[in-house]
Structure 1
Amino acid sequence: MTPSRSRRTRGGTVAELAALCLLLAACREADKPDGTVEPAPTPSSDEGQCGKLTLAYDPGKGYEPSAFVVGGIAEAELGCEVVYRKTTSRQAWRLVARGKADAYLDAYGNEDLREKVTGPKGSVTVVGPNGIHGGVRLVVPTFMYDLGLRTFRDLGDTTRIGWGSTPPVLTTLPELRALAEAAVEFSELDYEVRDYRTIQPTATMGDLLTATSFDDSHKLPNVYAIEGPRSLLASRPGREIIEIPESAASGCVPDRHTTLCSSADFTYEKIVSKELSTSSSPAYNLIYNYRLGRKSAGDILQLVDLSGYRFNAADASSWINTHEEIWRLWLQ
């Protein structure tokens, strides 16, 4: 600082500091990314007509019951004309963004799409969590677990854990392929990553879980990377669960099919079109208030399990008919 500047008056210094603070605040405001997510609008007190309500859902994954629970209530209590649109978790973001669906109630991952379609200039509103918690796990036949496949580190000891002369393979679906490849490379495993849909084109998470039990009964070595509700990714007769270290996903590079590039646990979220969130539709109020507690989520996921991971409107009616004291609160 020069001597002439050091002799400025106290008042002048204060004024300059105030101006500097305003300038910095303006810069910080300008530096905010366009993808900053704004809070979801609170429900309107002026209820309009519901009309048509299109709900996207991803079948056979175990986390799709929200669409049918909300849809069943919206149809019976709000007079909505409910349409269910079958899609994938990744495509659902695009459908809501383009106005082809009003809501998707089980959103997760897809960080690249999330950044593009949410925020002040986006066409999608993130409403909040639906109460179901998800994760990614390795699922293995019980016989491999009994042979010593207890942790992620044990995968490299292929002879001991039962691969024998069979080339080791990590099997998954396209949405987790990039994550699986990153985990194999990170741990320097001599495993091929296989897309299960090359074997069964319509395969879902439920099919992978069923395959694990089949493999155990026939002593076929296999390792599956599966995403879904955490309570469904649990040890059962014929299958055991192995956690994937978060560090193993550090090199994941998403492709156009990828939903997750992280093995960290997460919570499924509700997303709606900005048009719905700024309307007076009672359907938005219902979606805004919809959130399952631990017991309610457990009851619904038990129905998912019993349905063979093919949950539908009839299964939702079973829950709705026995839990009125819960969902009535969502209509307030």
Structure 2
Amino acid sequence: MRTSGWRRVPALACVLVLALTGCAVEVQPRVAPPGPPARTPCGTLTLAVNPWIGYEANVAVISSLARNRLNCTVVEKDLSEEDAWKQLAAGEVDAIVENWGHDDLKKRYIDAERVAVEHGITGNKGVIGWYVPPWLAKKYPDITDWRKLNDYAHLFQAEGSDGKGRLLGGDPSYVTNDQALIRNLKLNYTVSFTGSEDKLIEAFRRAEKRHDAVIGYFYAPQWFLSEVDLVHVSLPAYTPGCDADPKRVACDYQPYDLDKIANRAFAESGSPAATLIRNFRWTNADQNTVARYIRVDKMSRDEAAKKWLDANPKVWQGWLPTG
């Protein structure tokens, strides 16, 4: 359609007016589009380290990412399980990165005092129980039935066991039901602590190699089970609530979906480390791989973490805060 000429007149008039009057047109400044929000600085991250190698594996990987990806200063504190909870409640520890149950502590510090929070599962499936070396289960197939254990108690007698079978434990700080189980199931056994996880492993390794009779407390995930496939002893089946009274426990240990616990203030602080720990999730096989690097290959935690992280970027990249 043809444009009529009179429409251009106002525009020309404006140009003449501006030229004659010296008027200026105000130009609005150009506003840049908003960028991503600034991330809260990490600062110092304090992690509890409980005395077993699977926990160390979790710490190794989380600490490496926190330092190298989030610029955190990481402090690692060697603590028993109960002390870790106490220090977390007091704000002296930010997170426990592998928790096995502890419903009593959750009721106190999470539900009642509200100073701690559950901070997501680790992805690991925890199994606790009594185990014997494979050679023993093969020679005496019914030894894995708790109702037959008294028939074999003489095999496990040792110096200091007062004529009873000796049931090995690991670190004395571990929270176990073993004393109550022996008493309530009327078993002719006594608990003997080796003193550490490493000494417990060595006792089972030696028993399989020399065909010594050993029975003891053990658990998964644990890298050693890929070396010596210990055989689980069947105790009375676990049912919810059967372990509610620690003095009256007469059932097997509860299977666990292992989880993480955080100090409430830390969890709600916006720290990128809190996001990393909440998102952290891997498998028993992942944990056992890193644990084996540390114990068997004698790597430092940093070296073990780096080797696993380099090989598994698709697993851990999703743990990091976005942006």
State the alpha-carbon separation in 2 of the partners of residues 235 and 245 from structure 1: 26
How do residues 1-332 of structure 1 correspond to structure 2 at under 5 angstroms? Answer: 47-119=39-111, 121-148=113-140, 149-158=143-152, 162-163=155-156, 167-173=164-170, 174-175=172-173, 179-197=177-195, 203-204=196-197, 206-229=198-221, 232=223, 234=225, 236-237=227-228, 239-247=230-238, 250=242, 254=246, 263-292=253-282, 294=283, 297-308=284-295, 312-331=301-320, 332=322
- Mapped contact 2:121–2:260 kept (Cα < 8 A): yes
* Greater mean alpha carbon deviation, residues 301-310 or residues 62-71: 301-310
- Mapped contact 2:133–2:228 kept (Cα < 8 A): no
Q: How many residues align?
A: 272
State the alpha-carbon separation in 2 of the partners of residues 176 and 262 from structure 1: 16
TM-score by length of 1: 0.72
Paired residue type of 1:268: L
* Greater mean alpha carbon deviation, residues 243-252 or residues 110-119: 243-252
CA RMSD after TM alignment: 3.0
C-alpha change, 1:251 and 1:114, in structure 2 (3 Å) is closer
C-alpha change, 1:164 and 1:57, in structure 2 (3 Å) is closer
C-alpha change, 1:191 and 1:177, in structure 2 (3 Å) is farther
List alignment gaps of at least 5 residues for structure 2: 1-36
Structure of higher CA gyration radius: 2
* Greater mean alpha carbon deviation, residues 163-172 or residues 110-119: 163-172
Identical pairs, percent: 23
Provide, for residues 187-246 of structure 1, a one-character-per-residue CA deviation record: whole Å limited to 9, x for no partner.
22111122223xxxxx12x431221121233333221012342x6474754743324334
State the alpha-carbon separation in 1 of the partners of residues 175 and 112 from structure 2: 32
State the alpha-carbon separation in 1 of the partners of residues 155 and 302 from structure 2: 42
State the alpha-carbon separation in 1 of the partners of residues 38 and 246 from structure 2: 43
List alignment gaps of at least 5 residues for structure 1: 1-44, 198-202, 256-260
Provide, for residues 113-157 of structure 1, a one-character-per-residue CA deviation record: whole Å limited to 9, x for no partner.
221110374111111211111111212133321231233333121
Q: How far apart are 1:283 and its partner, in Å? A: 1.0
State the alpha-carbon separation in 2 of the partners of residues 147 and 162 from structure 1: 12
Partner SS, residue 118 of structure 1:
helix
Paired residue type of 1:98: A
